[in-house]
Structure 1
Amino acid sequence: MTDEQPRRALILASAARLFAQKGIAATTVREIADSVGVLSGSLYHHFPSKDAIAGEVVHGYLRELLTGYREISSRDLDPREAVRELVITSLEAVHRHPHATEIYQREMRHLYTHSPGNELVEAANEVKLTWLSVLAKGREQGVFQRTVPLWVLFRFIRDTLFHSDPDQLGDTTDPVNTLASAYLATFLEGFATAR
């Protein structure tokens, strides 16, 4: 790691906390710079703009999430097992990137508008298509009920998973797996057909 890499990581971590607390628009470049002990102009050595910082915070989270999703998709898993793996992977990403997750959920429109290219849109679509594919496969195999539209199941899962906070469980030794078990009981027993 070069000397620049730790400073860049510190800027991203501090900006993520500020963006999650105040929002992207309300956070100033000066506040970010002050939080890491540099002059405002020095931030531009690392990032071209405040929106570029926000984009990198969220991209880091999405890259990790999609790496896990792609690995799961590459295996020929039973739909119930695939849902279990996707839930755990999602909660692990939320746990490791709580600020980025919050920014992504609350500031999606701002990010889409100010993000260069279509990377965020493409990442969001890949998340959605991964879930819909697993749910559709489960439905085709008679594992999941046909009474609820797939997009409703996806939105239910997405919105509850990505707004969760494993740390709210307190002193649980393994908060991600504890929360994953609760989610899986709800998701799978709530919309799965009887075995």
Structure 2
Amino acid sequence: MRIRELAVPGAWEFTPRLHGDERGVFTESFKASEFEKAVGRPFELLQVNMSTSAAGVLRGIHYTEDPPGQAKYVTCVRGAFLDVVVDLRRDSPTFGAWDSVLLDDVDRRSVFLAEGLGHALLSLADESTVTYLCSLEYTPEFDRDLDAFDPELGIDWPAVGRDGQPLTFVRSAKDIAAPGLRTLLRP
């Protein structure tokens, strides 16, 4: 497995080795020993989520109030997503910085993001499916959102999908109404 820390400290990209033959492909998408060696701690799994999205669906930017925070290990099992990680830790020297990784059913990469980081996914193909391994069970009172189109973040969202067709962004009412980054700077 190749492991690369992203530009946002506390986030890593995991690219597994693919073992293929006439039967298909096998890969180890998560291996605790390799994870712990790279990240410096174990991953405590408390919940697994899965979502399927049409092309253009943008979920996020979501985060969990820290503490307690929620770490995630995200893998695309079908289709393709642009996975975006944003540093939302107020005391971090990279506060507001973001990085992205293409997650798809070809390279089978995964992204780990630590507590205190925000997360967004843009589906680049119809029926794209992602799984999230989560370190905290869903707790609505800790759930928070930020506007994915906040100009202060300046996220470079792609205009076309995996098939080369233009994307029409589809967001939930909650995500559309989400505040900008400056709200995190208020006392």
Structure with more relative contact order (C-alpha pairs < 8 Å, separation 6 or more): 2
TM-score range, shorter chain: under 0.3
TM-score with structure 2 setting the length: 0.26
Q: Which one has the bigger helix percentage? A: 1
Whose radius of gyration is greater, 1 or 2?
1
Provide the TM-score with structure 1 as the length reference.
0.25
